[in-house]
Amino acid sequence: MNFDNNLRALVTGGTRGLGQALVQQLRERGVTTVSLARTADVDDPLFLAADVGRDDAAGIAARARELAGGPIDILIHNASTLGPVPMPALADLHSRDLAHVFEVNTLGPARLTRALLGPMRAQGRGLILAISSDAAVHGYAGWGAYGASKAALDSLTRSLAAELEGTGVAVASVDPTEMNTKMHRDALPDVDPGTLASPSDIASRILTRVQRTPLPLRFVAEAV
Amino acid sequence: MLRAAHQTRPWRATRVLDRYGVSSITELATRFSPGDLLVLNDAATVPASLHGQVAGRSVELRLVPAIGAPFSSARKAVLFGAGDWRQDTDTREPPPALAIGDRIRIADVSIEVLQIDSRSPRLVTLRFPFEGDSFAAFLYREARVVQYQHLTSALALEDVQTPYGGPAWSVEMPSTGRPITFEVLDQIRARGAKVAWLTHAAGLSATGDPALDQMLPFPERYLVRKETVRAIRSARRVIAVGTTSARALEAAQDAIRTGPASTIEGVARNKIGPSTPLAIVDAILTGVHSPGESHYELLGAFVNEEELARMHRVAEESGLRAHEFGDLMLVARERPTRPTLARPRRRSP
């Protein structure tokens, strides 16, 4: 999909880190972009205060469309939670926390996809991009809930791609690799931030890649 | 007597009655051919029922669709008294009598009564203390979906969306579209027929007040996109999916027939009945309706009384389900008898 000023996007988790960079760069490329986050007060006319893990997806979809002034063409599932930090081993993880991680990282995005997919199919145009993680593929101590939730998100993405073949709606997930963000500091506070990529660099790589075809089902931002 | 559907059903269970008999929704596409255009209403449904307190009494507000921007602060609503959707709207306790300036409390929000309609004290104009996205956020947090007494369990917001719904304009679901999934639409397109969308703010189906029910449907906002206008002009036969789609198309008839091929916005004030000449719509796909209902009257614009009665008998004998989440009827005019159109229009032999 080539970005232009006829397109409208919704980026969840749009006020910090990679999400903020994606919002800014989509807007620079002319895309009307709604930024969603739980934060209440943000000085942005296209800001939508909502919780992907809790609020009704039909409501989020309707509000995003109303703010953007038309149908959403690009949906980026960027919001996610690590769960409790420091990240506990699975043996110490309360089932309630496990469920919450899945609500925010997997089920919320699945509901939001469903709520926004109809108009994309009616138009025969759309892009749904899930921000995944290396932890979806490899096992790391402490990353059990997060990794499983992202693996499930990748799996939903693969099935959705099969179901949407030939409809004009593209679907992919991306591993953004390690970035200098609050989430990274929460997860791995001892890593020197100077060794990490900047979120804006990663956002730029992701947005460049998704404009090229064919779009792979899953890609790694670093390898773009 | 037709029985109502009593629960939501998988879309594949929907049956369709037309002049040839009853078939499955999965065979609907076989009824269409090249030159046919189905026009669907893509309005999404908002939660429009709010429960509040006024002067120590309970009141339910059901929002009427907005005529202007969907989330402006001044909004019409119909009042219902204490009780809930499990009671028939006609037997619910009447709402408390309100005066201009009264305040209805919902959660921590105070809503002012701005106007009371001269025709019924149940129809009021309210002022909410916010508009735009803050109003939308309030509704999606505090309001519930308008419920139907014929169902055995309460509906969630997700239950009342069509597969392709977008703009949040409707307060009740444009329900004919619910089983028209993309699988069905792809089958229809594979037959060479086309599909297009308009947006029409589907309103309340019942008010609990005979005087107000007489006034239904209220004026409702519509928008016909320019691609749809173009598609209608080159179609041989236009099939409205749902009564709201038919109402919007007929309300916009002048602009559709003669104007430039651009997006048309307006407010539908028309009511379609047996004596209404149809200018745009040749056939309608709708729910199964019974004599005495306004939607049954609407079908009288398509076929004569005998044919309608015959179809109704078949619906009864076949055990079709009425109302929202029920089965469908495809009612086509025998032969188009429209007045001369400005648009070029080929006729089938």
- Is the CB of residue B61 less than 8 Å from the CB of residue B185? no
pLDDT digits (tens, 9 = 90+) for B297-332: 999 999 999 999 999 999 999 999 999 899 999 999
Give φ, ψ of B271 to 5 degrees.
-130, 125
Q: Are B29 and B188 in contact (CB under 8 A)?
A: yes
Whether residue B133 and residue A48 make contact (CB cut-off 8 A), yes or no, is yes
pLDDT level of residue B335 (50, 70, 90 thresholds): low
Contacts of B11 in chain A (CB under 8 A): none
- In angstroms, the separation between the Cα of residue A119 and the nearest Cα of chain B is 5
pLDDT at B339 over 70: no
Q: Which of B294, B286, B296 is nearest to B330 (CA)?
A: B286
Give the contacts of A136 (CB within 8 A, at least 6 positions apart).
Answer: A147, A150, A151, A153, A154, A175
Across the interface, do B46 and A71 touch by the CB < 8 Å criterion? Answer: no
Mean pLDDT of B187-191: 98
ipTM of the complex, rounded to two decimals = 0.93
Name every chain B residue with its beta carbon within 8 A of the beta carbon of A55: 140-141
Is A140 marked active-site? no
Mean pLDDT of B133-138: 96
- Residue B348 banded pLDDT, cuts 50, 70, 90: very low
**Percent of chain B topping pLDDT 70:** 96
Q: Choose the mutation target among B42, B45, B133, B170 for the interface with A, i.e. most A CBs under 10 Å.
A: B133
Pair A50, A60: CB distance under 8 Å: yes
- CA of A114: which chain B residue's CA is closest? B163
Q: A74: distance to nearest CA of chain B, Å?
A: 14
Give the integer Cα–Cα distance in Å for B171 and B48: 6
Q: What is the β-pairing status of strands A218-220 and B57-63?
A: unpaired
pLDDT at B341: 47
Contact B133 A63 (CB under 8 A): yes
Q: Are residues B17 and B328 in contact, defined by beta-carbon separation less than 8 angstroms?
A: yes
Whether residues B140 and A55 touch (CB distance < 8 A) is answered with yes
> Distance (Å, rounded) from C-alpha B282 to C-alpha B240?
8
A119–B136 C-beta distance less than 8 A: no
Residues 143-172 of A with CB under 8 A from B: 167
B179 close to A (CB below 8 A) = no
Asked if the C-beta of A8 comes within 8 angstroms of chain B's C-beta atoms, the answer is no
Are the C-beta atoms of B151 and B301 separated by less than 8 Å? no
Q: Model pTM greater than 0.90?
A: yes
pLDDT of residue B347: 47
pLDDT over 50 (residue B340): no
For residue B70, the chain A residues in CB contact (below 8 A) are 66
Instruction: Tell me whether B145 touches chain A (CB under 8 Å).
Output: no
Model confidence band, residue B344 (pLDDT cutoffs 50, 70, 90): very low
Q: Given this model, what pLDDT does residue B178 score? A: 96
**Number of Cβ pairs closer than 8 Å across A and B?**
64
Q: What is the mean pLDDT of each successive set of 10 residues along chain A, which is 224 residues long?
A: 92 97 98 95 94 97 97 98 97 98 98 98 97 97 98 98 97 96 93 93 97 94 73
Residue type, A96: R
CB contact under 8 A, B161 and A58: yes
Contact at 8 Å (CB) between B204 and B147?
no
Contact B46 A67 (CB under 8 A): no
B168 to A118: CB separation less than 8 angstroms, yes or no: no
Secondary structure E strands in A14-123? 32-37, 47-49, 74-77
Confidence of residue B230 (pLDDT cuts 50, 70, 90): very high
Q: Whole-angstrom Cα distance, residue A109 to residue A97? A: 18
Mutation site for A-interface testing, chosen from B161, B184, B263 by largest number of A Cβ within 10 Å: B161
Q: Is the distance from CB of B326 to CB of B320 less than 8 angstroms? A: yes
CB contact under 8 A, A63 and B166: no
Which pairing describes strands B74-80 and B328-332: parallel, antiparallel, or unpaired?
unpaired
* Interface with B, mutate which of A52, A107, A121, A164 (most B CBs under 10 A): A121
- pLDDT of B336 reads 55
Is the minimum CB–CB distance between B130 and chain A shorter than 8 Å? no
Closest residue in chain A to residue B133, using alpha carbons only? A63
Report pLDDT for B342.
44
Neighbours of B258 (CB within 10 A): 10
Which member of A66, A71, A118 has the closest CB to residue B163?
A118
The neighbour count for residue A193, using CB atoms within 10 Å, is: 11
Please tell me the predicted confidence (pLDDT) of residue A41.
81
Which letter, b or e, does each residue of B160-196 get, where b requires 16 or more Cβ atoms within 10 Å of its Cβ?
bbbbbbbbbbbbbbbbbbbbbbbebbebbeeeebbbb
The mean predicted confidence, pLDDT, of chain B is: 93
Amino acid at site B47: P
Distance CA A48, CA A72 (A): 14
pLDDT reported for residue B85: 82
Q: Is A17 on the interface with B (CB under 8 A)?
A: no
State whether the Cα torsion A5-A7-A8-A11 is positive or negative. negative
Contact A126, A117 (CB under 8 A): yes
